[in-house]
Structures are given as C-alpha cells and as structure tokens.
Amino acid sequence: MPEPTAVSTMTDAPTNNNAVIIGAGQAGAQAAFSLRQQGFKGRVVLVGDEPTLPYQRPPLSKAYLAGELPEARLYIKPQGFYDKADIELLTSARVEGIDPGARQVRLAGGDTLAYRHLVLATGGRARRLNCPGADDPRVHYLRTLEDVRGLQADFVAGKRLVVIGGGYVGLETAAVAARHGLQVTVLVARPTVLNRVCGPEVSRFFTQVHRDAGVALCCDTAITAIRAESQYLVIDTNNGYSVQADLLVVGIGLEPNLELAEAAGVSCDNGIATDENGRCSLPDIYAAGDCASHPSAIYARRLRLESVQNAVEQAKTVAASICGKHRPYTQAPWFWSDQFDLKLQSAGVVSGFDQSVVRGDPETRSFAVFYYRAGVLIAVDAINRPTEFVAARKLLDQGLSPSSEVVCNEAIPPADFAATVTGAKPVASHG
Amino acid sequence: MTIKVTYIEHDGTEREVIVEEGVNLMDAALDNMVPGIDGDCGGVCACATCHVRVDPDWADKLPAMEDTENAMLELADARDDRSRLACQIIAAPELDGLVVHTPEGQH
C-alpha cells in the first residue's frame, strides 16, 4: 500500500478543471498564484521534488551564501499564502512520467495525478564536472538550498576555494568568498569570464574587479583531474599547473530538465518548445521557466533563458492561457548580478552583437555598454547605472534603437534616448 | 521593538500589521499575508514589483531615496511623487503608524 498522502486522494476525473504544475521553483510557484489571480477555480496542485516551500535561487550565490539572509527569507511566499490561495503543494514528490493520452502524471511511489491542464516548470540541474575525481564530496554545486547547506561548513575564512566556471554563479560565489576571507581561485575554461552573456568590456571589467579583490582568476584553463590528498584536493589543469583546494564550487552552467517532456512526446528544441502563449506541442500542456524555449519576436529566434524575470513572465502567460486569456510573452529579457559593491543589470540578449559602445568610464565603476547588431540595439549591460538599465528595458520593449553616438553622449539623459529615434513620439515631459 | 504599518489596497481594504524594526515593508507584507506586493527580485531593488504609495503625511519622515530606487521606480505603473519601493523602506521607530497604498497593477 502506498502511504496515505494527499496524493492518494487525488482521483479527479480528467474532465475536472484542475491544473497540475510539475516543478515548484520560481516559475511553478508563480504559475500557481497567477492561476488564482486570473480567476482559475479548479484545483491547483504544485508538485516539487525538494522538501521546502518554493524558494528564490538568486540569493543562493549572493546574500544567502554570505549568511546575510535567513532561510525563511528565501521562500517566494510563506505557507499561509498557499493555504489562502488553496494551492496544494506536494513537496519531496518526484514525477516519473506523463501520459498525455490518459492526461495523467505518474509520481514516484505509484500514485497518479489526473490533469486537465499541465504546466511543465521542471527547471534545470547544475551541469556536472566530468573529470577524474569529480565525485569527491568536497566538490560542490550551487543550484539548490541543499547544495549551499552542503558547503557552508567549509565556507569559512582562510579556506582555499577553487571555483570552476566564470559565469554569474562562479563569479558571485567568488565575490562572496573573497569578502569572507577565503583564498579564492577561479578557473575558467573559456577565454574570458561571462563569455556567453557579456561583451569584452564587461568581461575585462569583472576580471579586474575580482583580481583587485585578491581573487586568482585564470582563463583558458580547463580541469583535467581532481586528486584527493589526505587533507585537501589537488586540481590539475591543462596548462600544466595544479591548484590546492579545501573545497571546490562548480558553476559551469545549467542543463534543462527535459526528460519528462521528451518521454511524453512534447517537442523540445534546446528547451521545452512553447509558442508565445506558453503552449507546448501537445494540447493542454504548457511550459515555463528555465526549462522552456519560447519564440522571441525581438530576436526572431527561440530563446531559453535562465532568469527570475523569464520564469515569472512565462508563468503569468501560461496562467492567462489556461484561463482563456491572451497574454503573449513579449517582454525583453532582463537580469541582475550582485558582486562586491557592484550591481550589474542587463537588458536584452547580448549574443550576436557586432558593435558595442561604452557610456561612462569603467574606471569609475559606473558605466553601461550598449550592444548593436546590424545597427539595431539588442542589449545593454549597466554596472551601477540603474537609469541606463531602466531606459534600456523600455527601448527594447518598444523596439526603439537610438544611435551609438546618442547613447555614448553623457549629456543626453537615458530617459531622452527614445525621443532621439527618428519617428519616435517625443516623451511628453520633454516635448 | 515593533511598529504598526497599515497597507491599503486599491479597493480600500486596510490591513494593519506589526513590523519588527529593521524589516523592510516588502518582507513585512509577505510575512503578514498582505496581497499586492510581488517582490520578484527578493528585495534587492532590481525589479520594481513592490511599488507602494506613501501617504503624504509620512513622506518627509522616510529616508530619501537612493538613486537605484528612484531609477527603478520608472518601471512601476503610474509612478507619482508618493511612489516608493517597499523593499527599500525599513521599519524604524519614527515610522510607527505609517500608511502605504498598494497599487492595482501588482494584483
């Protein structure tokens, strides 16, 4: 007999207007609450494989890692909100399969959930290091609360930390560690840090920031093996040298969890493929968050984004679609990263730029980089420049592209950029 | 030390809550089941989804806005001169009795 959990009572006929959400991260939780906000009256069941309430992941490599945020502050909403909104949260529950024909979700343990609407918010998992010795318990990842708990005991001043990977997670971890007095080395296989997500000016800037803070940062450096000595690890690199470490944190990207969708016959294309309304290739199945790939009108191609904004906006769109409303997901992407005293705010997607121009002076630790492709503004990175970030979001959302001369001119306030575009309506307060 | 804060929804619903000193008004809203404040970025002044309007009587008792908050508020719906981000308002003794309004847009 299966344990008498809430699951075993779920015998809704498929015709009942219920929604099952697989994955209780930012997107899953948002979808559940947005369904209620949109007036959805049926049962809402949110299934997550972690033991806690849905939580925010960005602080895991920032304030939470730094010990500045209690765990309860990570929760997207306290339990009371789920109770009040009548959202059934199944924690520590693993979905083993989806049967789209029978409209059923199969849980580990044998229980099934019938669904009328199914939301796939399965997220992703940290890409694993694949070299000899990578299974040592001192090798950590930073995707879940459990991951952070597992490394906290060794995350103390004086310890030698080696970070593998020069993306946001790696650099944020290095920044927190350096501030806490750990001896930090960052090894990056690619030629620059933030290689996929920023242009060269921003990469150079953050490289210098980390080195100034005492971080040993080495690019073009791949790990060939991890060897366990009695008290520490030795990390061998392809450059012929080795580094000693008391602990390792690996931040080499995310692999979207697509297996459930693929096994169910839902089309995937570097992510669970949706249309602009969050619908998948099979009826009444939707996807949102890190696992989903959506068609971007702004970039004229599919995007799979790993960000809070993407999770929240896609989930709102999915909830609206389930409620029979039309709320296409068209917002320009945006993102933030906090390192040391710096707030990096990005709007748009950098990849594919052929021109980048800098507004302000990186030496002042306050500047913005505007990226263009074929003369069209596609993205902005703003470091301690929130006004430029805000202007960039509005420009990208409206499809406006001020010239590179305009955006470099500090005499023109960012709020006035839109008005400089030929054919743009002047902003009322300045017209 | 705690203070009293009243959140008023766009439809006039009032909720008086007790807030521990040092806690920001976005977290306080979450802790006390006050709807209408999303706080998507978790309170790091990156998203402008915890927009509130502060009763004029209280405006000059609040600490002045930092540049980031001022900039981010440009993304909030129908910003006016009473607009603030709840995550940047920290409960302090001089704010006992504070009244803030949550806008319709975030509901």
Complete domains list, chain A, with CATH: 19-125+254-322 (3.50.50.60), 139-250 (3.50.50.60), 341-420 (3.30.390.30)
Q: What is the pLDDT of residue B104?
A: 81
Q: How far is A12 from chain B (nearest CA, A)?
A: 30
What pLDDT is stored for residue B106 in this prediction? 56
In terms of DSSP bridges, do strands A366-373 and A355-361 run parallel, antiparallel, or are they unpaired?
antiparallel
Query: Which band of pLDDT confidence, cut at 50, 70 and 90, is reported for residue A212?
Result: very high
- pLDDT digit string (tens) for A94-111? 999 999 999 999 999 999
Please give the average per-residue pLDDT across B82-99, as a whole number: 96
What is the mean predicted confidence (pLDDT) over A253-272?
98
Q: Do B71 and A387 touch (CB under 8 A)?
A: yes
| Residue of A308, A314, A381 best to disrupt the B interface, most CBs of B under 10 A | A308
Distance from CA of A387 to the nearest CA of B (A): 5
Interacting residues of A259 by C-beta distance below 8 A, sequence separation 6+: none
Interatomic CA distance for residues A320 and A37, integer angstroms: 9
Strands A216-218 and A183-187: parallel
Given CB atoms, is A397 within the 8 Å cutoff of chain B? Answer: no
Chain A 80-119, residues with CB within 8 Å of chain B CB atoms: 80-81, 84
User: Taking the CB of residue A144, how many other CB atoms lie within 10 A of it?
Assistant: 19
Can you give the pLDDT at residue B100? 96
Interface test with A, best of B26, B34, B41 (most A CBs within 10 A): B41
The residues facing A370 across adjacent strands are A357, A380
- For chain A, say whether B42 makes contact (Cβ under 8 Å): yes
Q: Do B42 and A312 touch (CB under 8 A)?
A: no
Contact of B44 with chain A, judged by CB distance below 8 Å, is answered with yes
Three-state DSSP at A164 gives strand
Say which of B33, B42, B75 has its CB closest to residue A84.
B33
Residues on chain A touching B31 (C-beta within 8 angstroms): 78
- Chain A: closest CA distance from residue B39 (Å): 9
The pLDDT score that the predictor gives to residue A422 is: 74
| Percentage, residues of chain A above pLDDT 90 | 93
Contact B46 A345 (CB under 8 A): yes
A80 vs B33, B72, B75: nearest CB: B33
d(CA B30, nearest CA chain A) in Å: 6
What pLDDT is attached to residue A1? 39
Q: Please give the pLDDT value at position B105.
A: 66
Mutate to test the interface with B, among A33, A83, A312 (most CBs of B within 10 A): A312
B85 touches chain A (CB under 8 A): no
- State the count of interchain CB pairs (< 8 A) between A and B: 49
Model confidence at A230, pLDDT cuts 50, 70, 90, reads: confident
Chain B residue with minimal CA distance to A346? B46
Whether pLDDT at A5 is above 70:
no
Residues 6+ apart with CB under 8 A from A176: A61, A62, A65, A66
- Residue A26 predicted with pLDDT over 70: yes
Give the per-residue pLDDT at A205: 98
Do B30 and A77 count as a contact with CB atoms less than 8 A apart? Answer: yes
**Model confidence band, residue A2 (pLDDT cutoffs 50, 70, 90):** very low
If one compares A23 and B103, the residue with the highest pLDDT of the two is A23
Alpha carbon of A390: minimum distance to chain B alpha carbons (Å): 6
Q: Which residues of A touch B71 (CB under 8 A)?
A: 386-387, 389-390
On whether any CB of chain B is under 8 Å from the CB of A389, the answer is yes
- Report the pLDDT averaged over residues A335-364: 96
- Looking at the complex, does the CB of residue A227 fall below 8 Å from at least one CB of chain B? no
pLDDT confidence of residue A44: 98
Query: In this structure, what token pair is assigned to residue A87?
Result: 């959202």
Interval A77-92 mean pLDDT = 96
**Residue B47 with chain A: CB contacts under 8 Å:** 308-309
- Interchain contact, A386 vs B107, CB within 8 Å: no
Strands (E), A100-180: 104-107, 112-114, 117-120, 124-126, 139-141, 160-164
Judge whether residue A272 has pLDDT over 80. Answer: yes
As beta bridge partners, residue A285 has A118
Nearest residue, CB atoms, B67 vs list A74, A309, A386: A386
Q: Look at residue A7 in the predicted model and tell me its pLDDT.
A: 44
Average pLDDT over residues A362-385: 97
Burial (CB < 10 A; 0-12, 13-18, 19+), residue B1, is exposed
Nearest C-alpha neighbor of A82 from the set A119, A7, A32: A32
Provide ipTM, 2 decimals: 0.92
pLDDT of residue A424: 57
- What's the burial of A191, exposed, middle or buried (CB within 10 Å: 0-12/13-18/19+)? exposed
Chain A contact set for B74 (CB, 8 A): 387, 390, 394, 415
**Which helix H or strand E contains A407, and what residues bound it?**
helix A404-408
Q: Is B78 on the interface with A (CB under 8 A)?
A: no
Cα–Cα distance for residue pair A309/A348, rounded to 1 Å: 12
Q: For the residues A199-211, what does the mean pLDDT come to?
A: 97
Give yes or no for A163 touching B (CB within 8 A).
Answer: no
Q: What is the pLDDT of residue A423?
A: 61
Least confident among A168-182, A272-286, A382-396, B67-81: B67-81
Q: What confidence score (pLDDT) does residue A425 get?
A: 52
**Contact check, Cβ <8 Å, A390/B71:** yes
Query: Does the structure show a pLDDT above 90 at A152?
Result: yes
Judged by CB atoms closer than 8 Å, whether chains meet at A343 and B46 is answered as yes
